[in-house]
Amino acid sequence: MKDLDLWPHVWDTLDALTAHYGPAIDNAAAELGIPHGEWYGWLMAARIFEPEPISAARLNVRSAYTAPSKLAAALEKGAALGLLEERGPGEYGLTQAGRAGVQRLIDTAREAMSGLRPLPEDDLLRLAGLLQRIVEASLIAPEPPGKWCLSIERHYDPGASAPVMHRLDQYLSDLLAYRDDSHLAAWQRHDVSGQAWEAFSVIWRSPAMTLDELSEKLARRGYTEADYELAVGQLEALGWIEADKGGYWTTEQGDAVRDEVEALTDRYFYAPWDCLDESEIAALRELLVRLRDALMPVAV
């Protein structure tokens, strides 16, 4: 595998691009009655799964750190808004209003991107071509990781004839999905729960965190403090963390596990990038940085 440091550039570029259409989508979603930031989690996902129904269990595959009860509540909220309808116990599909809502959000994003010309057209086309090759290589890469997140993300592909900014948004989102596939495959081999792994990650980043602080920091996930107490107990039993001076710290064994998972995530994620030669990798890095910088707001 080549010496690669491109994932942060992919993430930063996607983040900079999303800033140009995210607020418009949030406003359009709010007009549908969807709380801020929730539109992707279940409404757009319901379109992806068609004709199969959506459920908390299916959402939990990628949203591995979120309580299934919170995902189920979001689907129930979608049904109450008339955007989803129940197809079976805990399973939902889009209503006609829901399909129209999804299309409105897609159109809103594409309209917000339509006027963007951050780089010369030839540079944008070059970047899109390089990213497309990596996405296609990722789809056929040996497992693990699986391709669940990436395959689902590909359902929103606007097609080869779409404007280049729309295609760039798709390919960058595809790589985010494959990064999720890679990280899920790397840590799930240790047979711990999603809430335990995220708690471990938080403690690794913020040593001496107490159970109360951990539960408060992760409250958005929908788990209770009792749930995190069980997760912390699992991590202590594995020897990955230890309690000291009222807080939790990762052990030497825990640090080794975390380093191994990060290295394995990178190995899985970057393996398909061998489809590019060294000069193409250099061009990709340069184009990503230039695009990110061009999309960033100008300081005043």
pLDDT tens digit string along 177-207? Answer: 999 999 999 999 999 999 999 999 999 999 9
pLDDT in tens, 111-121: 999 999 999 99
Confidence at residue 2, expressed as pLDDT on a 0 to 100 scale: 65
Length in residues, the chain: 300
Does residue 272 surpass a pLDDT of 90?
A: yes
Nearest to 127 by CA among 181, 94, 165: 165
Name residue 107's amino acid: D
Query: What residue ranges do the domains of the chain occupy?
Result: 1-19+119-300, 21-115
pTM of this prediction? 0.95
Q: Got the DSSP string for 50-104?
A: TTS-EEHHHHHHH-TTS-HHHHHHHHHHHHHTTSEEEEETTEEEE-HHHHHHHHH
Topology of domain 1-19+119-300, CATH = Arc Repressor Mutant, subunit A (1.10.10)
Q: Which CATH number fits domain 21-115: 1.10.10.10, 3.30.465.10, 3.40.640.10, 3.10.20.90?
A: 1.10.10.10
**Topology match between the domains 1-19+119-300 and 21-115:** yes
Range scoring the smallest mean pLDDT among 29-38, 121-130, 212-221? 29-38
Mean confidence (pLDDT) of the chain = 95
pLDDT in tens, 129-151: 999 999 999 999 999 999 999 99
Name residue 225's amino acid: E
